[in-house]
A and B are shown apart, each in its own frame.
Chain A
């Protein structure tokens, strides 16, 4: 993975010194809360329901074992011994003390980590496919380009005070495991007719109050033009994006208002005008960064089939929690943070330390965070799988449910977040309890449930095969259900099935919905494909069927 040079280290060190001074001035009464707020947000610090929340950047979801140990350490020393991995591949600490945050950031800086721009109206942590570099279907590894964007966008003077936040995702694979089409900018790696690598650029996607799928602004952007083109998009947005209404300030609103064709004209005109002054991305710099992401020193191994008589629990785990690798003899292993009875995405410091060690033993000392709130050890020899499974099982990190209905995404919801309208964690627990039978889960196959506690949609509910949105009705928590959303493979926004349901009825409603699927599905058809084939009507009819007891 990328290693900081003197410049990278100086940027994070000087940022820590700056924030230490800002925090000191705030605590001394020299900076009011109103003045401090935009500064602390740009360093990842929110003031939440119970305490400050610190969002630590994990650029494109990649961590070394040493970095995961550092996260375990700060969660233990400055928080309550656990952290929460988010849909943007970051880690959130829910209980740090404000006065400790400069010291936390200083500790992170010693491990080449930071919390720069994980919040605020600026360019956020760039995200990528969690199988980057090992997926069989990949055009090219997106991570060098993510790192280049990370550097260019960090402490970026012109665009630190944008109309609203700005999220970029890069995918190297047509399967798009990074939800790139619901980002402010999505970059798809492609090859042109000459075989040159470049990007298809999408703009104006997003979730939140106005869910919308990004549109193509440029079919093919050469690598050398990556930063200058992003600069042009951002300059048009910075100058013309709305600043009068926070709910209309994202770039998607500007793109929609102008139309993609007019927006494209503006960006291309700006880009052409700017050629003489645009930021350059020399091939030598691309090569320098790419060198950090060369394939690991893999052994030459053959694929190994698991003996038919092997432990059925291991076989289930191997089937659901490991993924094909482009190198024979290896698999990518999912570390499930979705054990039934646990909070999706939560991990204790002890678990982090243990996984960091396992990564050192089994996967070249590297760990990835997925936007679905699990971890991945991407380069595990197949002959080591059983041993690794045993270790993960002891840590309660081997729940064989990846890709199934209980591999849910959930934002922290009302329990932690001051924006939330409703709880998400106890809804997740309710679903885990109702769907605790693995054979039933396996029969249902691939189903993505995504839960958000408010319309800001941190839980990506719009693109869940089943989306659950918490709403407040006269002080009570209710839940609106959508069907047919998707962000992986193809992008679609879910359709609301009807009135929201009470909290204690969420899991039973979902059960009635998936029972319809079991009756009407074609052979081998996934839930989301059945919904798209039949529409939501048959599901909607059964979802609200009266309880037998009430009839």
Chain B
């Protein structure tokens, strides 16, 4: 059973990735490329739909689909891969996505939890072997921030604000 760290709580994952015996599942996460290749396959099915973005994918290409999506997963295949942070902010701020925003991949580690949370990620699929208790603690590693960011992690003190 896969676990997801949601706002400091470790919960069982109700979602399945495509290929994990998924089409019969109530909630399925589909790679963007697959959604584009076989739109009819997913249009007719009931249940919740999520999309998985690779770092190279443009969130603009997903804008029209967002109203029917309950989840977007962004990949962080290594700690050095930083495109997902921009994907997260754009989804939350520009495209007003209010569903689950999940960070997934080998780069999702406790030392990045604060950055991810401030960029709008509210669900973390921690990298294998990562200590979930430490990751929960890491959520509160900073209680101050210079920059505007996702209000789910509200700093005690903040310098700059968004328009």
Closest to A276 in B: B163
Interface centre among A152, A235, A239 (most CB of B within 10 A): A239
Chain A nearest CB from B89 CB (Å) reads 6
* Cβ of B149 under 8 Å from chain A: yes
* A: contact size bracket: 35 or more
Q: Is the CB of B83 within 8 A of A238?
A: yes
Which residues of chain B (14-30) have a CB below 8 Å from chain A? none
Residues of B within 8 A of A35 (CB): 79, 109
Residues of A contacting B162 with CB < 8 Å? Answer: 277-280
Q: Among A155, A238, A280, point to the contact of B142 (Cβ < 8 A).
A: A155
Residues from chain A with Cβ under 8 Å of B149 in the complex = 157
* Distance between B93 CB and nearest chain A CB, rounded to angstroms: 4
Stretch of B1-9, B41-49, B97-105, B110-118 contacting A (4+ beta carbons < 8 Å): B110-118
Contact A14-B94, Cβ < 8 Å, known A152-B147, A159-B82, A235-B86: no
Compute how far the CA of A235 lies from the CA of B142 in the bound complex, rounded to whole angstroms. 23
Q: How far is the CA of A154 from the CA of B116 in the complex (A)?
A: 15
B146: which of A11, A18, A160 is its contact (CB, 8 Å)? Answer: A11
Bound-state Cα–Cα, A162 to B86, Å: 10
Most buried by B among A7, A121, A158, A274: A158
Q: How far is the CB of A437 from chain B (nearest CB, A)?
A: 51
Which of A7, A273, A280 makes the CB contact (< 8 A) with B94?
A273
Q: Is B135 among interface residues, defined by CB-CB distance under 8 A?
A: no
Which one of B85, B143, B157 lies within 8 Å of A157 (CB-CB)? Answer: B85
Q: Interface size for chain B: under 10, 10 to 19, 20 to 34, or 35 or more residues? A: 35 or more
Cβ–Cβ contact B82 & A238, under 8 A: yes
Question: Considering the complex, which residues of chain A in the window 36-74 have a beta carbon less than 8 Å from any beta carbon of chain B?
Answer: 38-39
In the complex, what residues of A have CB within 8 A of residue B55's CB?
A: 243
Q: Is A151 an interface residue (CB 8 A)?
A: yes
A160 partner residues in chain B, CB cutoff 8 A: 82, 85, 115
Whether A157 contacts B163 by the Cβ 8 Å rule is no
* Contact A11-B144, Cβ < 8 Å, known A38-B79, A161-B85: yes
Interface residues of B (CB under 8 A from A): 55, 58, 79-83, 85-86, 89, 93-94, 109, 111, 114-116, 118-119, 141-149, 156-163
Q: List 12 A-B contacts (CB under 8 A).
A: A11-B145, A35-B79, A121-B82, A151-B160, A157-B118, A158-B82, A158-B115, A227-B160, A276-B163, A279-B147, A285-B159, A285-B160
Inter-chain pairs besides A10-B156, A11-B146, 14 sampled, C-beta below 8 Å:
A6-B157, A7-B157, A7-B158, A14-B141, A14-B143, A154-B146, A157-B119, A158-B89, A161-B82, A161-B85, A239-B58, A273-B94, A276-B163, A279-B147
